[in-house]
Amino acid sequence: MSKLSKAQYRTHQQACDLLTKDRLTEDDRWFVLENWQESARHVNSQAGAFFTPPMLARDFAIETCGPRIIDLCAGIGMLAFMAWNKSDWGRQPIELVCVEQNPDYVEVGRKVLPEATWIVGDIFALPNLGHFDCAIGNPPFGATPRAGTGPRYRGRAFEYHVIDVASDIADWGTFIIPQTSAPFRYSGQPHYEWRPGETYEAFRKQTGIELGANCGIDCDFHKDGWRGVAPTVEIVTADFQLAREARRPAQVDLFEAVA
Ligand SMILES: C[S@@+](CC[C@H](N)C(=O)[O-])C[C@H]1O[C@@H](n2cnc3c(N)ncnc32)[C@H](O)[C@@H]1O
C-alpha cells in the first residue's frame, strides 16, 4: 500500500462511493477510472499493478481491432473500457473478455465495464475462451513473480510471456511494454529508430513473434499520468497469424517432392 496524498485519498473515496451504486453512468465510470487508486489496498509494486493513464489507454485503443477482444491482465479494465468507448459504446460490434487475477480489481472492473465478461484468474492458466480477433494488455513488466510461463518463451520478462500466451488465442496483439523490450525506440526520442536488443531477439527466435510499431503514439506524452512510477514504454503490435505460420514446421513442397 502506498501513501496517498490528501487529494488522492479524497477522490479515491468519492470513487468508492460511486462504486456502491448499482449502475454507473458514463461520467461515473470515467471518474472511477481516473481516480480509483490501485495502491489504496494493495502493494501494487509487488504485483506490477500500475494502471495505464486513461489518456494513454485512449490513444492505445487506436491500435485495437475487433470484434472479439481479450484484455490479459486487465486491472479494472482501463484498456478494455477505451476499446468499448471506441466502439461507440457497443454500437459497433464488439465483445470484450477481461482476465485479471486480483478479485478486488475485478469487482471494480465489473462496475466500470459491465458489458465485458470478467474472469478472475491467472492468464497462465486460462480456460478455453475460444479465439479472439485481438489480444490487448499492459501486463506487469520484467521479473515480476508469476506462477506460469508462456508456451515457448523461456526468459524472465513477464511481458514476453503474456504476448506468447496471446499468440495462441488471438490473430492480432497490441501491448504496452517497456521501451527496452520493444525492438524500436520512438517515445521520448527525436525520431523512430529500429533497435532490437538481445532479449527481444531471443524472444523472437523462441516464439516466432515479430513485434511491430504502432501508428505513431509517443507514450512519453503521458508519462506524468502514471501513479507512483514514470516508465518509458512503447505500444507494440503483433500479427499472430504470421507468427503461427512461422512456427509451423517447414512443409515439403509437393512439386519439389515429385520432381
Ligand atoms: C500493469 S497492471 C495493468 C492493468 C490494466 N491492464 C491497465 O492497463 O490499467 C497489470 C495487472 O496485471 C495483473 N496480473 C498480474 N499477474 C497476473 C496474472 N498472472 N494473471 C492475471 N492478471 C495478472 C495485476 O493484478 C495488475 O492488475
Q: How far apart are CA 230 and CA 197, in angstroms?
A: 22
| Ranges of each domain in the chain | 52-258
Instruction: Provide the grid cell at 45.
Output: 509494486
Q: How confident is the model at residue 10 (pLDDT cuts 50, 70, 90)?
A: very high
Altogether, the residues listed in the chain come to a count of 259
Q: Which CATH class is domain 52-258?
A: alpha beta
> Per-residue pLDDT tens for 41-56?
766 666 678 999 999 9
pLDDT (0 to 100) of residue 4: 83
134 phi/psi in degrees, rounded to 5: -145, 135
> Per-residue pLDDT tens for 145-174?
999 999 999 999 999 999 999 999 999 999
Asked whether the beta carbons of 43 and 59 are under 8 A apart, the reply is no
108 phi/psi in degrees, rounded to 5: -70, -45
Q: How far apart are CA 101 and CA 119, in angstroms?
A: 8
- The chain-wide mean pLDDT, for the chain, equals 94
Q: How many whole angstroms from 140 Cα to the centroid of ligand 1? A: 6
Give pTM, 2 decimals.
Answer: 0.95
Q: How confident is the model at residue 182 (pLDDT cuts 50, 70, 90)?
A: very high
Q: How many whole angstroms from 141 Cα to the centroid of ligand 1? A: 10
Query: What is the number of the ligand 1 atom nearest to the C-alpha of 141?
Result: 1
Instruction: Provide the grid cell at 102.
Output: 486480483
Q: How far apart are CA 235 and CA 218, in angstroms?
A: 9
Q: How many whole angstroms from 239 Cα to the centroid of ligand 1? A: 22
Q: With a 6 A CB cut-off, is 16 part of the ligand 1 pocket?
A: no
Q: How many whole angstroms from 90 Cα to the centroid of ligand 1? A: 24
3-class SS of residue 38: coil
Query: What is the number of the ligand 1 atom nearest to the C-alpha of 122?
Result: 20
